[in-house]
Amino acid sequence: MPKPPHQPATQLAPGDVAATDASGGRADGMFVFMDPPEHTRLRRLLTGQFSVKRMNALHTRLHEITVDHIEAMIAAGTEADLVPSFALPIPSVMISELLGVDYADRAEFQASTEVSLNVRADPQDRAAAGAALHRFVSDLITRKRRAPADDLLSGLVHDADPPLTDTQLTDMAMHLLGAGHETTANMLALGTLALLENAPSSRPCAPTPR
């Protein structure tokens, strides 16, 4: 039988920012749903932005952000909810750093991100938050075209040859957001749970007889 033609991923809900654009239509920059040569070109462009220099800088920032959140939980008292206090905000802040979101805009960015990626949220709320996030990223790309900085999104805007379209850039940024946010938050939360459930007893050991 002949191989069926490649179909873009258009069947997922608009609230799923990792797969569709704001209208739920084709996501032109979602290379994970593509075949070569389109997949190869877009993946190579994105991989090239993960330079050693940038990753080293992000490693330093990750350490600072992690320490800040741990200290905030300690200062709040003897109990804390790990997910909203630690697991969710850390990937959100790191993706803000990676994409070059201005500090003043991060509250809006993170609020939309939290709702759009929350599988327990009302579907209409998720869709609205996903659309708002899509607009935010699209506007961010416009600003990066005018005033590039040393961030991944600026690199994709200005380094690609031939240039990427705004739609491709927005889709790629949204894909990074979806792939790197909820998955990381789940890993942090479930990894901590597994550690607590399987850690050796903290009770002091009896002295070894001589």
The 10 Å Cβ neighbour count of residue 62 is 16
The pLDDT value recorded for residue 164 is 92
The pLDDT value recorded for residue 66 is 95
Q: Give the tens place of pLDDT for each residue, 51-63.
A: 888 888 889 999 9
Coil, strand or helix: which one is 43?
A: helix
Residue 136 phi, psi (nearest 5): -60, -50
**Average pLDDT, consecutive stretches of 10 residues, N- to C-terminus, the chain (210 residues):** 37 41 54 84 89 89 94 93 90 89 84 83 93 93 94 93 92 84 88 90 51
The pLDDT value recorded for residue 191 is 94
Amino acid at site 156: L
Dihedral of CA 122/126/132/133: which sign? positive
Q: Give the tens place of pLDDT for each residue, 10-42.
A: 333 334 444 444 444 455 777 778 888 888 888
CATH 1.10.3720.10 is right for the domain spanning 31-188: no
The pLDDT value recorded for residue 128 is 95
Coil, strand or helix: which one is 89?
A: helix
The pLDDT value recorded for residue 201 is 64
Residue extents of the structural domains in the chain: 31-188
Kindly provide the b/e burial profile for residues 171-195, where b requires at least 16 CB atoms within 10 angstroms of the residue's own CB: bbbbbbbbebbbebbeebeeeeeee
| Block residue for tokens 């380094």 | 159
Rg (CA), the chain: 20
What burial class does residue 161 get, using C-beta atoms within 10 Å of its C-beta: 0-12 exposed, 13-18 middle, 19+ buried? exposed
The pLDDT value recorded for residue 27 is 56
The pLDDT value recorded for residue 138 is 94
- Residues 65 and 87: their CA atoms lie apart, in Å, by 12
- Residues 34 and 78: their CA atoms lie apart, in Å, by 49
- Residues 176 and 134: their CA atoms lie apart, in Å, by 13
- Residues 54 and 72: their CA atoms lie apart, in Å, by 27
* pTM as predicted: 0.72
